[in-house]
Amino acid sequence: MKELLYVEIPTPDTNAVCTWLQQEWKQVLGEKIITPDGIRLKFEPANSRHQNSTVDTALIPEISIFVWSVQRTTYLKAFRWASRAITGESKILQQLEANLHNQFPEQYPEPPVIDLSEQSIFEALAPYYPQTVHFFQKMPNGEYDLNRVYWWEKRWREGVRNPQQPKQVVFDARMKPPVTSQQSTTNSQQPTNNKQQTTNNKQQTYDLIYIGGALGVLQAAVMAKLGYRVLVIERLPFGRMNREWNISRDEFQSLIDLGLFTPAEFESIIAQEYIDGFNKFFDGNNPSHLKAAILHTPTVLNIALDSEKLLQLCGDKLKSAGGEIWDETEFIKVDVEPEQVVVSLQHLPTQSNRQVSGRLLVDAMGSASPIALQLNGVRAFDSVCPTVGAVIAQGFEPGVWDTNYGDVLNSHGDISRGRQLIWELFPGADGELTIYLFHYHEVNSQNPGSLLEMYEDFFSILPEYRRCDLEKLEWKKPTFGYIPGHFSVGSSDRTVAFDRLVAMGDAASLQSPLVFTGFGSFVRNLYRITDLLDTALQHNLLQAKDLNQIRTYQSNVAVTWLFSKGMMVPTGHHLPPQRINAMLNTFFGLLADEPPIVADTFIKDRTDWLTFNILALKAARRNPALIPWIWEMAGAKDFLRWLGSYFGFTINALISWLFKGWFPGFVRSIQPWVEQRYPNLWLWLLVQSYALTAGMGCPEKVKTIQN
């Protein structure tokens, strides 16, 4: 017996595929025999042409073709039952595969256009996403949250499909043409060391206005403690989260060192701490050398935080330091004036309009940010992880999962309807489980990526991943979002700022493109960003050329984007279904063979140049097909573009090796003289110092906030 063909057919209707195979498909050779799950093709044995020959029926050559379903997707395999190749078998299989692709093409369903004045979100979406509607109805705020899912998908699709003409939300009061990433101003501004100083315009009331109250409120609280007047604008009721946060103790320690939290406060927001995390990808269809052991990561994402409690605590600290929070308020636009920004808002419950002004606007709106789309146009984002899931309070049978353990990354099947689906499972407080389903996805106007389709998958295939009766589960809340990525070639190939405006977090899209730990990346870089932002505000260095230096770019992280590219199925392409799992098992199997510190540093964005190259060479030796596979999936243009990232990483590693031992200390030693006389130069020197340390995954020692 020999496997001849394995294909993924992008439809959940396995019966339709089986019926077509049995009744409509016309094979070029062989006699078709119907079986319960497909067909058999029987051929005459080679010696049957000779007269008086006796044929052993057990040796009659056949091809067995059958279909099955998993992950709401249909798969087909063909096996040869013969001791040698059957005449014409290649022609038969090529015909079958081509006919399958024609009969069952890739489809990218669109969410329906709905009118919520005529019906509820449940009524509007039930014909299209029945499982999603059914289980959202079981959640405490299900109608509100499903509206939010629909809104986010609609906003994301609009941004992806209209990159050349994104909605204009940033207006420059000093010039009439729309703001683009190429425009910058040359207004000279006088430095000031007074954090509380305002301009002569009496309308200005804040130093910092943050749009987005999730990650944004962490830094907002830090800046308020530094003495700045801070306002946070949040579209949701403050404290509500679309996803949970996990981190490790050593990463969160930076927030304690910064003075934002005390050790006791940190312990109070821990929902669960588990003792190990598993990383395992399906390898049932991989050859033996591409099967991998479980990668154990006991110090990666092993602290589940109570995200709402964390946000409330940050909010309290912000307010106690004089800051304000306006929640249920939507950003409409910002007008950039010579000495301030004027932000237009809408209070959603009352539909009333508001305006507020300040020295600097911080865009923390994440992947839905219209500001990021306007500033970067066609290259706002290169990739995205559509992510869905839920927090489940209880309902799993005993033994299904031990809450002392987490599933960091897991797949239970091969490519599914053009996506490699990956699960995450994190234990929470009181036996809760937070489960995510996501996939790596190229940004494509024809196929932007759908949260609603993913939710229909999630509710349909969760029992395949972890044994359960969905009707017995207690659904606490959904978790969802688009987590974007940008394939950086250099530290300045993405615009993160305009005059008096700077983007951070997912809106800046500079977190790890490999594991997409936006929260972890933000925390790891918070001290760096805070120090730079504080310096810019103290000296009124708020032009685009100054603010564009304030970013979390890491050369050692940028070079990993080709790996994430290798986990995306290009839109309209057909790959062997086991391809991505084989690639994942190559690399994660390699990490499983290394000392634990190697995986820990890699996933936490701390890998150095030598370790990266050693791992890359070992991976190529273990799986020589890896580079051709990535070339096929990424294409020549992106592969060559990645070489630019690699050469940049190499140069930066050399510079860091030569200078990081003495340059940061030297910069700090000349601070009193340089900062007072040449503030622009001081900001540039500080940026270069951080590039040698934090920019290479070696953060500097965090200093406690001084008011």
For 121-153, how does the pLDDT look when each residue is reduced to its tens digit (9 = 90+)?
999 999 999 999 999 999 999 999 999 999 999
Separation in Å, CA 78 to CA 65, 298, 575, 580: 4, 41, 17, 21
Instruction: Describe the crossing of helices 579-593 and 626-659 by its angle, rounded to 10 degrees.
Output: 40
Residue 363, in any domain of the structure: no
Residue 62 lies in a domain: yes
Which of 428, 452, 485 delimits the end of a domain? 485
- pLDDT value of position 706: 62
Do 20 and 63 belong to one domain?
A: yes
pLDDT for position 578: 97
Look at residue 315 and tell me if it is in a domain.
no
Instruction: Confirm whether 517 is domain-assigned.
Output: no
Strand residues in 364-465 grouped as ranges (E)? 383-394, 405-410, 422-427, 433-438, 441-442
The pLDDT value given to residue 191 = 41
| pLDDT, position 538 | 96
Give residue 80's region: left, alpha or beta (phi > 0; psi -120 to 50). Answer: beta
In the chain, the number of structural domains is: 2
Contacts of 383 (CB under 8 A, 6+ apart): 440, 441, 442, 443, 484, 485, 486, 487, 513, 561, 564, 565, 568
On whether both 395 and 448 belong to a single domain, the answer is yes
In a domain, residue 433? The reply is yes
Domain final position from 445, 462, 485: 485
Is 263 exposed, middle or buried (CB count within 10 Å of its CB: 0-12, 13-18, 19+)? Answer: exposed
> Does some domain include residue 95?
yes
Domain with 44 in it: what CATH number? 3.30.310
**89 belongs to a structural domain:** yes
- Do residues 49 and 128 both lie within one domain? no
Q: Do residues 474 and 441 touch, judged by C-beta distance below 8 A?
A: no
143 plus 64 within the same structural domain: no
Q: Are residue 135 and residue 89 in the same domain, yes or no?
A: no
What torsion, rounded to 10 degrees, do the Cα atoms 313, 318, 319, 322 define? 160
Please check whether residue 621 lies inside any domain of the structure. Answer: no
> Residue 409 belongs to what domain range?
121-162+382-485
Looking at the fold, whether 69 and 136 belong to one and the same domain comes out as no
Q: What does pLDDT average to in each consecutive run of 10 residues of the chain (707 residues)? A: 94 96 92 95 70 56 95 96 87 94 93 91 97 97 95 89 79 66 41 40 76 90 95 90 85 89 94 94 94 94 91 95 95 94 95 95 86 78 90 93 93 96 94 94 90 97 96 96 81 84 79 58 87 96 94 84 85 93 94 93 89 94 92 86 90 94 93 94 95 85 66
Write the burial class of residue 400 (CB in 10 Å: 0-12 exposed, 13-18 middle, 19+ buried). exposed
- What pLDDT is recorded for position 178? 52
What's at 250, amino acid-wise?
A: D
